[in-house]
Amino acid sequence: MSSRNRNTRVALLQALLPVSLSPDEFDLDATKTWLREAGYLKDIDKKRFSLWLADISSRLQELDMAIEAYVRDRSLEELGHAELTILRIATYELTYANVPQPVTINEWVEIAKEFGAVNSYRFINGVLDKLATALRQPTE
Tell me the domains of the chain and their CATH numbers.
Answer: 3-136 (1.10.940.10)
Residue type, 12: L
pLDDT reported for residue 72: 79
DSSP notation for 103-115: HHHHHHHHHHHHH
If you average pLDDT over every residue of the chain, what do you get? 90
> What pLDDT digit, counting tens, does each position of 112-137 carry?
999 999 999 999 999 999 999 998 87
What gap in Å lies between CA 56 and CA 51, rounded to an integer? 8
Question: What's the whole-number mean pLDDT along residues 59-85?
Answer: 91
Exposure b/e, 61-71, CB count within 10 A at least 16 = b: eebeebbeebb
pLDDT reported for residue 139: 56
Task: Provide the whole-model pTM.
Answer: 0.91
Going by C-beta distance under 8 Å and a sequence separation of 6 or more, which residues neighbour residue 36? none
